[in-house]
Each structure stands twice: as structure tokens, then as C-alpha cells.
Structure 1
């Protein structure tokens, strides 16, 4: 019989205790990771509770959703748009046109993508160690407090989805250039995120990728083959789709670029005042600084302070050994934002969302560093309380702006819901049909009609091709024009309909016996 001495028994016991300790460490969740999950879940819940989940689709949303819709004919797809967003909406709109289902899907997707966007940064800041491990979760939380990040979390606009993709893409790139080569996981992440980003917004993805490609050449320790190749390949995928559609539908790439610049009003401008006015809401589109009212200094204070906070965050990064990652995120954000600030003569709160998401990282690094100041526990607790109090005040202000903006938007598009119901139930406007004139695109989705847009509310010209084609097909045609407009001769026998909600516009329907 084999026996075991006391020393051997002690060794076995030590090994058992060691394995148990390792097991406990393996099972213990990373608190920084757990906090990011909690922030993402809270963001998702905030969107669901604070945004109108059943509001009818806006103009831009109808354009994107109708491209692959199960019932609604596709609205006109302008040259400055890209096909990535219709693909994002496809899992829902190809099955149902229930608006709540689409908004619930986007709300859940926002929470998931918030987590996935900042997840690569946990590894980046995990190497820095200490309290800086919490920077990604704090950055995600800071970005999630912005009223426009909440409002557009349930809407089919490209800007927020691009923000998530660019944050993830830059994070994967920061990992790919420092991890032992070939680092295929981060490299694939770079390729996928920039491919998707360039499918959603090709010019923006290219602008944001510029600093990454430059850094891969200029920074000696980052000179690796596969990270910049992954960025370039991802961009080629999105731009390839853009070029293909340009040739097929818009007369070639140059014609598409030229027409897109004309339709968006591009040119060398100073859009800083317009963006400052837009950032405090509640308007969602500002064609001029004066067109959106004045600036609320309290609601816009964070925007004015943002460059200072970012610069201070980068100064902290230089002292605490994460300047490369923080600087790359900042450079990518600036490169992305420059075209919007200097080349676009109008603004919207959503336009700069990708820049805000990237800049949240150095700002979060600054805040985390602040919480570590002080030589004793009580001082650190006081500083942490001050930072938390400032953050809470910021949240309260942003939520106030959100409530106003969401209420205004719900009121505006609620009119379209009621108008569509009136036209369907009282005037029997049902598919196949055409809505022509002011508000045609938002009305087309609940009515499941073709649309022909005339934003000025003017009457159609004689022999309008869209109306003529619809009449030949036997479609029901609704023409919505200003009440003071005289209809053309071919509509002389059409029935004038007083429309609810906005007496400035009236509808015209052909006679029932046409």
C-alpha cells in the first residue's frame, strides 16, 4: 500500500488551494467589463422609456426603410445616400411594417452596439491598468447621456450607427498595432467595422480612417502590414458598392459626387455657429444659425467646454501612458468632423455624433484621473463626489432637452399619422396609390403608397409624369398642395379635400368614376 508523507500531503493541499484560487479568479467577473454591460443596458432602457416608440417614420427614415420594405414602394433614393442603412433595417422591414417593431429593434440594437463599440477599448485600457480600466465604461456612459444619442437610438438615421462602428474600428486598430502579430482578431475587427462604416456613410468612414493610415506610416512601433490593409480593404468594400451604384444609377462617380454636393449645399463655410445653435435642440435640422433660435448657454456649455476637456484628457494620457490610443481617437474624431464644420452650410445635432463618441474616450480618461487625485481616502471621495455631481447635473440638463425635442418631433409626425388614418378611412386612399406633393414621403409609409415629393407645396405642372403614370396604372392619386395654389387644368374635375391637422394644405383626389 502506498502511503503519503506529511510533506507530500502539504504539497497536495497547497496545489488544491492554488487551483481553487485560480478558479475563483477566473470566475470573478471583471468589474470594468461588468460596468460597460450595465451602462449599455441602462442606455437601451433609457431609449425605450424616453423616446416615442410608435411614432410614424420621418422623411429620411421612410427613404431608408422603404428600399427593402415588404409592402411600401421604394421612395426616391438620392445620390448622397448610401445603402448600408437599408441593410441594417432589412431584418424588420422585409417582414413587417409595424413601426413599433422597427423602433424596438433599433432600441435593442443601440444597446448591443454601445457595448460592442466600447468593448475593444477594455483591452486597450486594460494594459494601462489601475482605475483607467474603467475609461471605456465611463466614455460609453458619457456618450449615452447626450440627448441626441438617446433620441436617435430608436431612429433610422445613419449617424449614430456610424458612431458605434467608428469607435469599435479605432479601438480594434489600437489593439492590432500593439498586440503580438499577426493579431488576427483585432485585424478582422478593423476590416469588418470599416467595411460596415463605409457602407453606411462612405465619405465619413474615409475621413475617420485617414489618421489611422497616417499613424500606421509615421509611428514606427505601429508599422505593421495587416492593420492598414484591413482599414483599406474595409473602405474598398463600402466604396466599391458606392461606385457600382454611381455607375448604374447616377451617371458615374464624378456625377454622383457633383450632384451630391449640390443637393447638400456643400462649399467652404463656417458652420461652427450653426452647430452650436443645433446642439442645444430642440430643432433637428438647422438650415441657418438664426433658423433654430438662440443658444441656451446652460444646455450648450458641454459643447463649448469639449475641446478644453479633450486637451486636458490628452495631457493626462501623456503622463499615464495611453497617449497613442487617446490621440488616435481624437485625431479620427477631428478628421471626421472637419467636413461638417467647414463644408456643409447647415447642421443637425446628429451630424457630429461619431465625433462625440470618439472624443468621449479622452474626456473619460480625464474624469477617471480626477477621481484618483488626493493623498487620502476622504479627499479622493470628495473629488469623486464632485465629478459625479457634475455628471448628474449634465444628465438632468440633457434629459430636459431630450424631452422638448422628442415632444416636438412626436407632435410633428403625429399629424402625419392622423392624416394618413383620415385619408385611408375617410377618403379610401389605399394601395395601389400615389401621394404627390408636400409631405408625400412621410405619408407614403403608413398608406403604403408610391411618393412624389414637392417640398414647396406648389401645384403640379401639366402632364406631371409621376401623376400621369399613376393614372395609367389605375392607382389612387392624392395631390397635397398649398391651399392658395390653383390646381392645373388636368385636375379641374378633381375633388378638393380639406385635410385635418394643417389647414395651410389641401388635398385633391380624382373623381371616383375616372
Structure 2
């Protein structure tokens, strides 16, 4: 009888009024989550469209992903660590139009919907204020807004992780929730198709928790089976590609580790704190810490998460907050302690989950007037810092985009036109804008020998880009030289053009 009432109460729009699993219903279930969560998602989308989308060209990694499905240029070399999930996601737009603005708008709208749906999964698990504040905390980080409209996988791993943990908890709370297990599988599969290793770290704490959660412990094998099936399904393209192009799965894993600087024991917490000052990639991260204010929230995060767990222990929704905190910390650990460099986007899945216990902490503290006033002041200061950093990062990328367009235009005027090849410094982004293939004779993207590149230059236009930071390849020393606009810190940029490149006019 209790289980029947539980199942009936878990239907859409009906609050849980009784429980048969030992856990009381979540407070706030009678509130209306739709307008609050929709408002958070809409504000997140508008922020992207206004602050990030205008004039923002494709970054280096984005160019690799988009080139796999877009007709603008030949596909760039796809290195071992990458997965094709984000290419699948952008394909409906990238395959139809070369417009970067159209792609940005599409991803901004899609990421806003993704945030709403990931939070919506939790609507019967946590109070609406906790969900709305947690979503807002995550959505106002500069790194979240910046990567929302970008063709990068990390935000989508975050959504998959947030949804997966929510659906797992729903399966644990309600045996009659018919969406719980399929949703759990979909969340893990989404994370896996985007970044397979992240999905493994996501599944581990859920598999450990499965036998401990009631009533899920009556069916832990079903939960673990869903986790395993989702991992297999999501990782399948990456594994198949490993055997088709990388010499097998162990070889691809070894190569991926090499490209990431050989995974091992590192203490990269300070690297991530420095990177929050506006570095999209901090490698190596032996740089001065010039913007410590940008990392205040990062340093306070462990304390706020602990405060949220403590506050939840005194409420009816201890399990959701604790599992969100544990899973978020597990997702963060590999990037904090096994990778020897930092990129703020790596921790987006952890931030999405940790935002919930932080919100729980703030909601609890805000019951006191003095604490509420302090929280309001801190929130305003936090937003000011986040959007100042966001403006600086976006402005820098826009300037680079303009310069890259000028470099590509100069090369086209010098006869580097399809079918053409660009090699050397920042070749991937320049080649894509010029409609050329990008080929490198060495490094992570090594896909041709120097002899092969020299021979290719005899019958098709080839440009080798060199700045004051690098030397001239021996095979290009006799080629025609053309001075190009500087690319950021790459001063003295020039292109060595093969005999097949004939200037126009």
C-alpha cells in the first residue's frame, strides 16, 4: 500500500506525500520549478548571445571538431584523446552552413535547453530555491558562459553528469519512476560519447552507491547493468576508431596519455586557480598569479560544499546533496591530480554538481538577515569579477579571430587556394579559414613526413607558417617568403610558400 501511494505521488505534478523507502520527501516539492528553472536557463542563453556570440571565431579545438563535419575545409587531424561527440552535436548546422554565427546561436540555444533539462531532472529531489540558485551559480561562471556557445565537449559532459546523478537518485527513491533508469543511461552515454574517460569517472561513484541506496539496493544489478551498457554504448565509437586508426585501444590510450603530458601524479590545484584569471589553457602553468580575485570562489568552494553537506544532513534531502558532492569531487580529481596542466573547462562537470551543495549551504545561511545581506554583497562582487574575466577572454579571442581572417586572406591572395595545405604555427585555424587542409610533419598532429610535404608543394599550394619563436624547416628554406600579420605573441609571422602557390593579380 505504501509503495502504491509512493508511485502515485511520484507522477508529474504530484508531490510525494509518503515514503516506503525510509527517506522522507524532499522539501519544496510543492513549489513550481518550471518558471524558476526556465528563467535561469533563459538568462544563461541571453548572456551567451549578448556577451559571447558576436564576432567570436572558432578556436583551435573547435576547428578540429567542426572540420570533421563541415564542408568548408578538409577534416583536420583528429588526435588520440579526442572523441567525436561534439562533432555529432554540431553536424546539423556545420554541415549546412559555414556561418560561425549560426553555429554559435544554435549552440547557445541548445546549451540553454540543456541546462534546463539537466536541472529539471532534480525537481522532485531538491527544493526549487536550491535548484534555481545552484543552476544560477553554475550558469554565471565565466567559463560556463564562455563555453556555452562553443563546439567543445566539456559542458555537455556536465549536463550528462548532472542528469545521470539526478536520475540515479530518482531510481533510488522511487521504484515506479519509469524514466529513472533510461535517463540514467542517457546521461552516462552522453558523457561517454563526448569524453569517454570522464564518463568512467562519473559511473564509478554511482556504481559504488547503487547497493547502498534504498530501495535501489533491491535491484543494484539493474542499476549497474544500465551504467555498464551506457558506458559501452557511449564509448563504442571511440573504441572502434581506436582499432581502426590507432592500432588498438591500449595504443590509443598510451598515445592519449602522451599528448596530455603523460598522465601521472601531479598537484594541479594551483594551476587551475591561476587559469581562472582568464587563461583558456595554462600549459605549462608556471606563470605569475596576476588575478587572485578571480579564484576566490574556487578556493572557497570546498568550504561551501562542506557547508552544504552539513546543512543537508539536517534536512530531508541528505542523499541528493551528498551524492552530488561526492560525484563532483570524483570528476574533478583526475584533472586536479593526474594532469600536469590546467584548462578551466575541464572542471565544468564537477562545477555543475558541486553547485547544488553550495546552493544548499547558501539557502540555509540566508535564513539569517545578516548572512543574507553578506551573501547578496558577495554575489554581486562575484558576478562583477566573472563578467570582467569573461569580457577579457572573449575580447582576446575576437581579436585573434580578426587577425586569423587577415592571415587567411593574405595567403589566398598569394595563391594558397584549394586544394592547398597549411603547416606550421597555428596551421589548423588558418587552414580552415583558407579552405585548406592542415598537415604537420611532427608533434601531436604529425600526419605527414617533411619529404612528403616538400613533394606535395610541387603540385599544390603549400604554406608553412613560421614566427620568431620557431625555425625554418629545411625543405621550405628556398620557397618564396611572404610577411603575414602577427598572431598574438607570435610576432614576425611569415609564410613560406611552395612553387605551386601563384599570387593573384
Q: TM-score normalised by the shorter chain: which range applies?
A: 0.7 to 0.9
Contact kept? 2:278, 2:389, Cα under 8 Å: yes
CA distance in 1, matches of 2:312, 2:393: 36
Q: Does 1:155 align with 2:175?
A: no
230-239 vs 346-355, greater mean Cα deviation: 230-239
1:146–1:477 CA distance, 2 compared to 1 (3 A) = same
Q: In the alignment, is the contact (CA less than 8 A) between 2:188 and 2:202 conserved in 1?
A: no
Give the C-alpha shift of residue 296 in structure 1: 2.8
CA distance in 1, matches of 2:210, 2:454: 55
Structure with higher helix content:
1
| Distance (Å, rounded) in 2 between the aligned partners of 1:214 and 1:115 | 28
Mapped contact 1:204–1:336 kept (Cα < 8 A): yes
Is 1:480 aligned with 2:461? no
1:388 aligned residue? 376
1:135 to 130, 136, 142: 130
Indicate the residue corresponding to 1:435 in structure 2.
422
Contiguous gaps of at least 5 residues in structure 2? 1-12, 16-29
Question: Which string of whole-angstrom CA distances, capped at 9 and with x for unpartnered residues, describes residues 211-230 of structure 1?
Answer: 11100023353312433322
C-alpha spacing 1:512/1:79, structure 2 compared with 1 (3 Å):
closer
Distance 1:443 1:316, change over 3 A: same
* Alignment counterpart, residue 233 of structure 1, candidates 223, 229, 233: 229
Name the CA shift for 1:260/1:485 in 2 (closer, same or farther; >3 Å). Answer: closer
Backbone CA RMSD of aligned residues: 2.4
Asked whether the equivalents of residues 63 and 75 of structure 1 are also in contact (C-alpha less than 8 Å), the reply is yes
Per-residue CA distance 1:427-453 (angstroms, 9 max, x = gap): 232211111111110012111110013
The 1:511/1:161 distance shift into structure 2, 3 A limit, reads: same
- Structure showing greater Rg: 1
How far the C-alpha of 1:322 sits from its partner, in A, is 1.2
- 1:28-56 per-residue CA deviation (whole Å, 9 max, x = no partner) reads x9543211100100011011111143322
The partner residue of 1:208 within 196, 202, 209 is 202
Pick from 431, 435, 439: which aligns with 1:452? 439
Equivalent in the alignment of 1:119: 120
TM-score (norm 1): 0.85
Q: Of residues 244, 263, 267 in structure 1, which corresponds to 2:264?
A: 267
Cα distance per residue 1:403-445 (max 9 Å; x no partner) = 1122222223332122112222x32322111111111100121
Instruction: Give how far 1:462 is off.
Output: 8.4
Aligned length: 465
SS at match of 1:436: strand
**Residues 461 and 488, structure 1, Cα contact 8 Å, conserved in 2:** no
Match of 1:411 among 396, 399, 407: 399
Shift of 1:299: 1.8
Query: For the Cα contact (< 8 Å) 1:462–1:488, is it kept in 2?
Result: no
3-state SS of 2:465 partner: strand
TM-score (normalizing by structure 2): 0.87
Confirm or deny: 8 A CA contact 2:365 2:372 kept in the other structure. Answer: yes
Equivalence for 2:480:
495
Contact 1:215/1:222 (CA < 8 Å) preserved in 2?
A: no
Please point out which of 380, 385, 389 is paired with 1:397: 385
The residue that corresponds to 1:321 in the other structure is 316
Q: Give the 3 Å change call, closer, same or farther, for CA 34–488 of structure 1 in structure 2.
A: same
Cα gap change, 1:316 to 1:461, in 2 (>3 Å): closer
- The answer (yes or no) to whether the contact 1:55–1:414 under 8 Å persists in 2 is no
